[in-house]
Structure 1
Amino acid sequence: MAQQSAGHLIVESLKAHGVERVFSVPGESFLDVLDGLYDSGVQNVVCRQEGGVTYMAEAHGKLTGRPGVAMVTRGPGASNAFVGIHLAWQDSTPLVLFVGLVPVAHREREAFQEFDPHQWFGSQAKRVLVLDDPDRASEYVAEAFFAASSGRPGPVVVGLPEDVITRQTDAPVVQPVPVTEGAVGREDLADLRAALESAQRPAILVGGPRWTPEAARQVTEFAERHGIPVVSDWRAADRVPGTSPVNAGETGYGRSRETVETLENADVLLVVGGTLSDIPTDGFTVRQDPAAVNWIVNIDSSLRQHSGAVTRQILASPVAFGRALAELELGEHPDWSAWLETPVAARRRRFEIPATAGNNAEGTADMELVMKALIPHLPEDAAVVYGSGNHTAWANTYVPTGAFPSQLSVRNGTMGYSVPGAVSVSLEQPERFVFAIAGDGEFLMNSQELATARQFGAHPLIIVVDNGQFGTIRAHQENHYPGRVSGTQLQNPDFATVARGYGAFGARLERNEDIEGVIADAVRAVTEDRVPAVVHVLADPAKLLPGM
């Protein structure tokens, strides 16, 4: 093999793993990798802050099922990137973070920007690898991608000492390690069939990682063939389309009573892809009966995050299980139609914009009317992206999800995801309509990534809900300390002007009469002019949630 630097070998190894795009903020600690990217054909999306780097890489992992690749420098760069590592850990998203490190001879001497990646990331990453041998550079890439993708996916951190990556090596490129999808045995399938056929109130809970469009379609079709209600885990509403006649709603914050009762009262619950973690179980209180019949289909043998009984675990990903369900037909069983109709009807009612829409304070625009104007513009395959906060309820309540993957959000409650997440999706699928909704506080955490969007051609539509406060925390505050508002109020800039400064479309809404025209102009900007669009909605601070 010809001699090349370890840094260049890393880039060649990324190409062997099918990587077409990485996200980075440059640093002197990994210059040789940057040089390897120069004429590699791999796009280097240069972000404005390392939190944006790992958010974009995480969104890429959610969207494609393949590890998103992030590159940052040591010390401050690594600390800024940590937020996306925590997200990928809790959301089970495949992500590989390369971090430049101090030279080997400078270790443990408190050198400039030195830190210990094992101590920093050890509790929030599946693996932490530090490259000390240039001959193993490609091996480490293969190991990182395998660890990030296999079992329950998650983040892997690879440390790159700046002197090691410049050393020459003739080591070959190590090819990708195949990742198993698990398997569903005949006995598993026969016993599951018998359990469902004898059930009076069966239900399916879908969520977690390792889904594909085909797997989502197969699980949905099985449920629809037999009339079994499907409950979605929090932020997993796109496993079953919003229009499906078996969609019984989403768990998590803002859930309906009927959805929770379906989960609690099912006499046979089939959990596909996820677990009964704290969110669907409302803080480990729902579905905790030790006698509950829970069939868990999960590729993670440790069932991390799970609570409650496990009747049987099938060690398979949604991909393998979906293939098995495609061949599974149930025989005679009780009539489940009444059991199905109650949560499905309740969910449909939640999508109806109330007649009280427009009852908002003067000088503001009603978010219910904004959503009413936007929804007709959304194509069936639109991707919806949002972070955390009460503002997410506007999209979560009124925007029906299409085929998987169409909802990209966060389960770990992190803010600042909406803009970089939307940019990442738009870069990967430039012909797709990408819509993001952000709160005023959340938008200001990563709005600078609009510059990244303009530089690299992303064009999402971003609606900013400006109610002048950290609304979720304000609501908690009012519940626990009524009348004592503290630390939750915001004074905001004109976000439309900010957007125009980045070269994006920017418009401000403070009257209901202007909503339809502004939304139509913003949609034209992203679909025809192909530039990012920001609609700054001055929202009534008293209407924190739909229906209020």
Structure 2
Amino acid sequence: MTEQSAGHLIVESLKHHGVERVFSVPGESYLDVLDGLYNSGIENVVCRQEGGALYMAEAVGKATGRPGVAMVTRGPGASNAFVGIHLAWQDSTPLVLFVGLIPLDHRMKEAFQELDPYAWFGTQTKRVFVLDKAERASEVVAEAFFAATSGRPGPVVVGLPEDVITDMVDRPVVPRIPVTEGSVSDQELADLTHAFSTAQRPALLLGGPRWNAVASQQVTAFAEKNGIPVISDWRAADRIPGNSPVNAGELGYRRTEESVAVLKDADLLVLVGGTLSDIPTDGFTVRQEPDATNWIVNIDASLRQHSGAVTRQILASPVAFGHAVADLDLGEHPDWSSWRDPAVAAHQEVSRIPDNTGTNAEGTADMTLVMAEVLKRMPEDTQITFGSGNHTAWGHRYFPNSFYPSQFSVRNGTMGYSVPAAVALSLQDKDRFVFSIAGDGEFLMNSQELATAKQFGAHPLILVMDNSQFGTIRSHQETRYPGRISGTQLENPDFGVLGQGYGGYGARLDNNGDIERVIGEAMTAVQEDRVPAVVHVVVDRSKVMPDG
């Protein structure tokens, strides 16, 4: 063992855990860790605001199933980072945040930028650590990564007092702590097979964390082989391909009536990975009957966030469940086609780009036609990001989600996610096409991370849908306070010029006649010139959602 500082040992431990990049905003409180990153082989992606850094780390956690890593300083830095912690908590995303802290001797004196990490983060994290002993540096990293990934994943915060991380230690790197996937026993599989064999209206509901591409393929194959309708949780539509013959739709806002009927009327509902939370159950009002038959396949023994009956829990991740059912043939069972097909047909219809999108106001472009042009040109392995707002409906409805993971969004409703997430995914695989749909209000919450994209070689396509308002809140106002619009109107800059200012491609799109040219130029910039592209799509203010 070579003696080194605790800060350098932390970096060595991150390498041992397979961390390829961290997302940071620098601060004097963790200078020794920054020094450890120098020539470490770990890319330090320096972001322009801590919220953007946390969104990037969260997107990496969603993409890989391994903790995304962010680093910020105390006080204001930690404050800005909290939005990403809340996202990772509600979205069950593995994430480890390192926060620089004041020296030990300065505690409890309201020193410059002092905070209590336990009080600040304790309710929204799986664990909070403070490295009070330099000798525990590698051990704390291992425990933090284990906590972030085991059971129901989530965020973990590690506080780093600036004096402790400079202490010299001669401790080894602590190995990874393995995380179990759980399992499906032979008896559980036999009982589940029997439950399907007697069901008249079975369904699978897919969602939650702990998926990978293989699990998605295995569960899809099981459902297709046996003709079981599959509904998806809100913002979990990529667990099954959009064009699967058993895909019965997503239970988000603007769901089809047929998808809701599957949730309501199933006499056997098998939830894989997720729970019955407030969104699929329409505010805890759907499928709340105490005698509903709900089998829940979930590695979280506490079933946090679940509401409604629990008939049986199988303590297994989607990975373990996919392995168990990969070759499972249910044999003789009732004909489920008349139960399945109406919801599948409704999902296919609502996912189809309409032949006629109607007319739009002069000086605007039709967002549906813009989306159609991107879909026509994009590669099959494209990933999409979007945050919160009515603009997300175009991604929900029309993006094909042909593989896992392809859909990146937020279940906690945070705004400002679309751009940082797209930057992170583009850095994760620089040969992949990544595009984002951002609302005009959302875009300006983190558009500065386009500077990060240009600096580090990310090149996503960003469509900014400009209706000069916070559209979702405006819609709520129209419903509850008709004719009294307050606090939701915006005056925007030219987003295309802003994209150019950041060193990428930028264009304003305000008529349908230019859609083919502008989208073609933007995708050339992204795919060949490898620079980020911003397309400012000026839309008809009255069209807050796709038609139909």
- The two structures share one fold, judged by TM-score above 0.5: yes
Matches within 5 A, 1:200-211: 200-211=200-211
Equivalent position amino acid for 1:546 in 2 = P
Distance (whole Å) between structure 2 residues aligned to residue 9 and residue 323 of structure 1: 37
Distance (whole Å) between structure 1 residues aligned to residue 222 and residue 123 of structure 2: 38
Distance (whole Å) between structure 2 residues aligned to residue 181 and residue 70 of structure 1: 26
**Once structures 1 and 2 are overlaid, which stretch shifts more, 231-240 or 349-358?**
349-358
Distance (whole Å) between structure 1 residues aligned to residue 358 and residue 369 of structure 2: 7
Corresponding residue SS for 1:353: coil
Matches within 5 A, 1:34-433: 34-433=34-433
Distance (whole Å) between structure 2 residues aligned to residue 207 and residue 104 of structure 1: 43
Aligned partner of 1:439 in structure 2 is: 439
Distance (whole Å) between structure 1 residues aligned to residue 504 and residue 327 of structure 2: 49
Q: CA deviation at 1:402?
A: 1.3
Distance (whole Å) between structure 1 residues aligned to residue 124 and residue 375 of structure 2: 38
Contact 2:125 2:156 in 1 (8 A): yes
Aligned partner of 1:506 in structure 2 is: 506
Q: CA deviation at 1:353?
A: 2.6
Aligned partner of 1:21 in structure 2 is: 21
Structure-1-length-normalised TM-score: 0.99
Equivalent position amino acid for 2:401 in 1 = T
Distance (whole Å) between structure 2 residues aligned to residue 6 and residue 372 of structure 1: 52
Matches within 5 A, 1:508-523: 508-523=508-523
Corresponding residue SS for 1:146: helix
Q: Which runs of 4+ in 1 moved over 2 A?
A: 352-356
Distance (whole Å) between structure 2 residues aligned to residue 242 and residue 183 of structure 1: 28
Corresponding residue SS for 2:193: helix
Contact 1:358 1:368 in 2 (8 A): no
Equivalent position amino acid for 1:413 in 2 = G
Distance (whole Å) between structure 2 residues aligned to residue 390 and residue 106 of structure 1: 47
Distance (whole Å) between structure 1 residues aligned to residue 79 and residue 397 of structure 2: 35
Matches within 5 A, 1:533-548: 533-547=533-547
Contact 1:67 1:95 in 2 (8 A): yes
Give per-residue Cα distances to partners, 1:7-58, cap 9 Å, x unaligned. Answer: 0000000000000100000000000000000010000000000000100000
Corresponding residue SS for 1:113: coil
Structure-2-length-normalised TM-score: 0.99
Corresponding residue SS for 1:521: helix
Contact 1:373 1:515 in 2 (8 A): yes
Contact 2:22 2:43 in 1 (8 A): yes
Contact 2:385 2:422 in 1 (8 A): yes
Distance (whole Å) between structure 2 residues aligned to residue 65 and residue 467 of structure 1: 35
Distance (whole Å) between structure 2 residues aligned to residue 451 and residue 403 of structure 1: 30
Contact 2:222 2:327 in 1 (8 A): no
Distance (whole Å) between structure 1 residues aligned to residue 144 and residue 373 of structure 2: 45
Q: CA deviation at 1:337?
A: 0.7
Q: CA deviation at 1:73?
A: 0.1
Distance (whole Å) between structure 2 residues aligned to residue 233 and residue 336 of structure 1: 21
Contact 1:387 1:417 in 2 (8 A): yes
Corresponding residue SS for 2:137: helix
Distance (whole Å) between structure 2 residues aligned to residue 276 and residue 246 of structure 1: 20
Distance (whole Å) between structure 2 residues aligned to residue 350 and residue 82 of structure 1: 37
Q: CA deviation at 1:374?
A: 1.4
Q: CA deviation at 1:301?
A: 0.1
Contact 1:55 1:84 in 2 (8 A): yes
Gaps of 5+ in 1: none
Contact 1:358 1:366 in 2 (8 A): no
Contact 2:243 2:348 in 1 (8 A): no
Give per-residue Cα distances to partners, 1:404-458, cap 9 Å, x unaligned. Answer: 0000110000000000000000000111110100000000000000000000000
Distance (whole Å) between structure 2 residues aligned to residue 4 and residue 352 of structure 1: 59
Contact 1:234 1:250 in 2 (8 A): yes
Corresponding residue SS for 1:125: coil
Distance (whole Å) between structure 1 residues aligned to residue 322 and residue 142 of structure 2: 28
Distance (whole Å) between structure 1 residues aligned to residue 104 and residue 398 of structure 2: 54
Distance (whole Å) between structure 1 residues aligned to residue 256 and residue 218 of structure 2: 26
Distance (whole Å) between structure 2 residues aligned to residue 454 and residue 26 of structure 1: 19
Distance (whole Å) between structure 1 residues aligned to residue 229 and residue 341 of structure 2: 8
Distance (whole Å) between structure 2 residues aligned to residue 222 and residue 289 of structure 1: 28
Q: CA deviation at 1:372?
A: 1.6
Corresponding residue SS for 1:305: coil
Distance (whole Å) between structure 2 residues aligned to residue 322 and residue 541 of structure 1: 44
Distance (whole Å) between structure 2 residues aligned to residue 353 and residue 381 of structure 1: 20
Contact 1:130 1:158 in 2 (8 A): yes
Give per-residue Cα distances to partners, 1:185-212, cap 9 Å, x unaligned. Answer: 0110000000001100000000000000
Distance (whole Å) between structure 1 residues aligned to residue 273 and residue 354 of structure 2: 34
Distance (whole Å) between structure 2 residues aligned to residue 271 and residue 505 of structure 1: 43
Contact 1:16 1:175 in 2 (8 A): yes
Contact 1:126 1:155 in 2 (8 A): yes
Q: CA deviation at 1:355?
A: 4.0
Equivalent position amino acid for 2:305 in 1 = Q
**Once structures 1 and 2 are overlaid, which stretch shifts more, 348-357 or 289-298?**
348-357
Give per-residue Cα distances to partners, 1:102-154, cap 9 Å, x unaligned. Answer: 00000010000001000010000000000000000000000000000000000
Corresponding residue SS for 1:463: strand
Distance (whole Å) between structure 2 residues aligned to residue 132 and residue 407 of structure 1: 40
Q: CA deviation at 1:356?
A: 3.8
Distance (whole Å) between structure 2 residues aligned to residue 399 and residue 136 of structure 1: 46
Distance (whole Å) between structure 2 residues aligned to residue 253 and residue 121 of structure 1: 30
Q: CA deviation at 1:358?
A: 4.5
Q: CA deviation at 1:368?
A: 1.2
Aligned partner of 1:485 in structure 2 is: 485
Q: How many residues align?
A: 548
Contact 1:387 1:438 in 2 (8 A): yes
Aligned partner of 2:451 in structure 1 is: 451
Give per-residue Cα distances to partners, 1:289-337, cap 9 Å, x unaligned. Answer: 1111000000000000001000000000000010000132102110001
Gaps of 5+ in 2: none
Q: CA deviation at 1:371?
A: 1.2
Distance (whole Å) between structure 1 residues aligned to residue 472 and residue 60 of structure 2: 27
Equivalent position amino acid for 1:333 in 2 = H
Percent same amino acid at aligned positions? Answer: 72
Equivalent position amino acid for 2:92 in 1 = S
Equivalent position amino acid for 1:427 in 2 = L
**Once structures 1 and 2 are overlaid, which stretch shifts more, 365-374 or 169-178?**
365-374
Equivalent position amino acid for 1:540 in 2 = D
Contact 2:206 2:231 in 1 (8 A): yes
Contact 2:383 2:433 in 1 (8 A): yes
Corresponding residue SS for 1:349: helix
